[in-house]
Structures are given as C-alpha cells and as structure tokens.
Chains A and B, each alone.
Chain A
Amino acid sequence: MPVQLTNDDIRSLVYQTCQALDDENFDKYLSLCAPDYQYQITAYSPEIRKEQTWLKHDRNEMVGLFKMLPQHVRMPGRFFRQACVGSIGDLTKNTEAVHITSSLVVAYTEPEGLSRLFAVGRYEDKIAANGKSPVLLSRTVRLDTRDLSPGAHVPL
C-alpha cells in the first residue's frame, strides 16, 4: 500500500541529498535516488544566448563518476549545500511524482577555514510520491553562477 508523502518527508529528502554530497557519502546519496535517476546541471549563457548543459548523467554514470573520484586532483576543501524547499507540487493528487523547486546556495570552505560563496541556483527535483519512502527520480541543478573557477568534480 503506497504511503502518501508529506511536506516534511520531502524537505527531509532534499536535506539528506545535500548532506550526503557534502559528506561525500555517495552510497547514501544513491540510496536516495531511484534506479532510473537522471541528474543534470544547466546554466543559461547570456554571452552566447543559449541554454547549456554542463553535466548530464543517469544513475550508472553517477556511480562511475563517484568511483573514479579518488583518482582525480580535486579542490582540497569542503562544499556545503544549502537547499531551501520553496515549492512542492500537489501531494493530494494521486500522482506518481511531485515536482519540487528549492533555492540552492553552495559554499566552499578551504582547509584553512576560509569560506566563500561557490554557486547559487535552484534544484528542480522530481520525487516519487507513492513509494514507501521518497526517492529522487530526477534533479536539475539550474545555476545562476557561471564563474565556478576552478570547477568541481562532485555534482552539486
């Protein structure tokens, strides 16, 4: 018997996805994602007047990305993702998924302790509403920040 999700379930899921990525606990992150999970990062460029996709992965590709991370040269500090859930689709409707929009702020803290703003944008999530516990079906990270130097190896 499917369980109806609440706003709190959804807020908790979004928070847990952020925390799992911050902690680089990728098994935990993947446990919050559906088997056919789709992830992408997009940004509009006013320079070329085009929507751009900067990363687009299915679940298997995310697994591969996480597995290879230890072999890469990466920024030595820590990322902190703060997502504030702003809009939740109608949970009373008998739908298989709800659409969630959250504002996103990502900070980066250097090993010496200095923190700086890394990126701002939005999460546009699709979350399964009829399961026993909520899972992410898809996430689009729509970035306002386009200067991300030096970039990042871990998804936002």
Chain B
Amino acid sequence: MSRSETQWQNPPPLQSREYVSSEIYNNEMIFAEEIEKIHRRTWKFVCHESEIPLAGDYRTIDHTGVPLMVIRGEDGEIRTFINACSHRGALVARELSGNAKKLVCFFHLWAYDTKGNCVEMTRPEGFAECGLSKADTGLRRVRTETRLGLVFINLDDKAMSLSDYLGDALEWFEEPMGTVPLEVFHYNRGVQNANWKQWHETNMELYHEWGHVVNRTTSVAAKGYHERLWRIYPNGHGSLEPLRVQYKNYKGWENRDDQLLPGLTPGEFRVLDIFPNTTIIIRATTIRIDTSTPIAPGKTLVEHRGLGVLGEPENVRADRQKNHNQFWGPFGRNLSEDVIFVEAVNRGIADGGMPYGLFCRHENMMSQDDEIMRAYYEVWESIWDVKPVIP
C-alpha cells in the first residue's frame, strides 16, 4: 500500500538502531562535524608501503582538505607531514609521488630533510632580528603507523595507537598480507555523487549483491554463502568468514585455483571493513583496498588499489591482473555497478525524498544481516559529544 505524506515522513516502526535518517548523508552541519570528530581523530589508511619502497620516496594526498606528504626517510621509517612550507604555507611536494632526499619549497627555497627538519632558510640573516631559526620551522609531523604494509595516519596526536584501534580486526588478513611482500599494481580513483558513508555501506551491506549479476552467480549462488558469520570488532570494524566463490558460474570465467595468496583456499573471498571508510577485499589471487575522502555531503573521492605479490613473474602478474580486472577497476563487471547504486541512493535520499534508510535485516549475524551496519552506526554516534539532531 502506498503511503501518505505524513506516513512517509514518520519514522518507520522499527527499533532506533534499525534505521538512519537521510540527514546523516545530506546535512552540511553533520558533514562538517564528521570531518572534525571522525576523520581528523581516527586512523586513516593512506597508502601501501610498496608505493614508497626507497628512501626519499613520497606520496602526496589530500585528507579532509589537509594536504599531506607520506615519505620514507633515509632510516627506512615512514613518516607523514602536513605538506605545507613553514614559511608561507606553499605546498612543499607538488607531485602525486616522487623521490627527494631533500624537500625544497619552490616558492622561497626553504628546504626540509625526510625527518621534517628545516635544513635551509634562504638568506637567513633576514630572520635574525625576529629571532626565527631553523629549529622553529620544522614541518608538522602527523602520527603514522604501519600494519601488514598498510600505512595509516592520524591527525590527532592524542588518539589511541593504531594497534589498539584495529584490535584483532586484521586476523583474517595476517597470512595473505603479512607473509609475502606485496605490491600495488593497480590504482584508480573516482569522484562519486554520493556521501562517503554510502560507499562504505556498499562494502558492508552484502544484501545488495543480488543487484550484481557477477555476485549473484558466483557468490550468492555458491554453497555456504548465506551461512557465513560476521565478526564485529570494537571501534566499528567488521569482517566476514571466508567463502569459496564459484567464478566459473559467470559465463566465460574460470575458477581461481592457482596463484592463490598465502593461506587461502581456491576461490576464497575475505572482506574487512575498517571504520570509518576503508575496506580490504581478497578474491583468492588478488586484493583490493578502498578508501575515501569526503569532499561534500554528496561528493566523495574514492581510491581503489589492487595488490599482487612483489617481484612475481610477468605471466603470473598478468593472470592476477586479469582476475582483478574481472570484478574491479573502471572496466570491471562489479565496481562500476556499485558506483551507480550509491549515486542512485544519494539521488533518492535528497531533501524531500526518502527520509530514512533501513538497516533492519536480521539473519543471526549471517552474511546479509545488517548488524554490521548497526554496529558501525553505534560507533558513529558515539563519536559525537552532542548527538546530531536527527528527526
């Protein structure tokens, strides 16, 4: 039965944790608070260590509008700095990646070493009168920690350690990602007309796999798909018990029995969602890592990485790349559809559209249970000193 205006606007007859207001996706004030209270206070995956293998290698990124530079020092340690010269704030590194033993600002040629120390101030005698010296003008360091080759940063110097933050969440990933050196072989990014949480929801909410023909045929139809249990960890992370995916169920594809990553059985699928916006997915032979950067309530930059084994033979890499590209990348059979899904949701929940999203599926913690999202939003709510006003 269709609903009247009032019926449509009334909260659904559900427990409060079984739905969310669409305001959390399209309200400007909530978005601004999320940036301050979540993104600038929690650990954020920024790159894989293989992207900066040599001393002086760096990557520049934008984290919630803050320009950052992740660099490997002469001592091998990976550090992160705000990518802004201590003089006038110009970007110090202007390339997306590169190698530098010394970081020289192109504006007035101040220079920094890979530990963030200011090592040169052009014509320093001009600063003698005010007493400013190199000791006062180092770069702002940002907390940086690495687990399983994944480099995380945190803008909050007082935040808990990465190890405490992740807890046991990486338990299914220790062997495939921690026993052989890995390498990023695929990187693509795209700006989506959607809220950052909607992308993360799509990586958590497996009920939508019915919408993808590749997932419907290779996964939902596979033995044991529905019986897998979610594991929910403290701080909003969640992972799902492994599944053997039947890739041959999609016309023209073969099963993934060879070149498996360590610890995996043929066709094995694993997924981990890390709060607030990073996901790791393993599909037997290859790994995908997603992470997002919120731009506006309805605009999000999403980065996708594909990983294989460092130094593997060309033919093995080609097969792994093929496996990756079947599902993922801009021409994969799955990823593009997810973008179309989340953009459609974002259109539908616009002001005056659908006022609530339902996360009310209960399947005893099995794969299409919404508990992963209910747990995620409990952590999301706990971040606020004053909970956002939700109608």
- Interface positions of A (Cβ within 8 A of B): 41, 43, 45-50, 52-56, 60-61, 64-65, 67-68, 71-75, 146-153, 155
Contact = CB atoms under 8 A, between A and B. Distances in A.
Nearest to B191: A149
B187 A151 contact: no
Interface string B361-374: 00000000000000
B286 interface: no
B340 to A, nearest CB: 5
A72 B191 contact: no
B212 A151 contact: no
A142 B31 CA distance: 38
B8 to A, nearest CB: 26
A56 B322 contact: yes
A50 B188 CA distance: 12
Given A48-B184, A68-B251, A74-B340, 17 more contacts: A48-B51, A52-B185, A52-B187, A53-B318, A54-B325, A56-B321, A68-B250, A73-B211, A73-B337, A74-B336, A148-B188, A150-B339, A150-B343, A151-B330, A151-B336, A152-B331, A152-B336
B333 interface: yes
B192 interface: yes
Nearest to A141: B331
A74 B305 CA distance: 22
B307 to A, nearest CB: 11
Interface in B198-223: 211-213
Contacts of B250: 68
A153 B322 contact: no
Contacts of A152: 330-331, 336
Contacts of A75: 336, 340
Contacts of A48: 51, 97, 184-185, 187, 305
Contact of A72 (B97, B188, B329, B337): B337
A57 to B, nearest CB: 9
Contact of B330 (A67, A74, A148): A148
17 contacts: A43-B188, A46-B97, A48-B187, A49-B97, A50-B187, A52-B186, A60-B252, A64-B251, A73-B212, A146-B188, A147-B189, A149-B339, A150-B190, A150-B340, A150-B343, A152-B330, A153-B331
A55 B335 CA distance: 13
A140 to B, nearest CB: 14
B95 interface: yes
A46 B189 CA distance: 12
Contact of A150 (B186, B192, B321): B192
B190 A149 contact: yes
Interface in B160-191: 184-191
B341 interface: yes
Contacts of A72: 213, 333, 337
A55 B186 CA distance: 12
Interface string B237-264: 0000000000000111000000000000
A74 to B, nearest CB: 7
A48 B212 CA distance: 30
Q: Which of B330, B335, B337 lies at the interface centre, i.e. has the most chain A CB atoms within 10 A of its CB?
A: B330
Contacts of B212: 73
A90 B218 CA distance: 48
A108 to B, nearest CB: 13
B388 interface: no
A50 B333 CA distance: 23
A44 to B, nearest CB: 10
Nearest to B322: A56
Nearest to B343: A150
A26 to B, nearest CB: 15
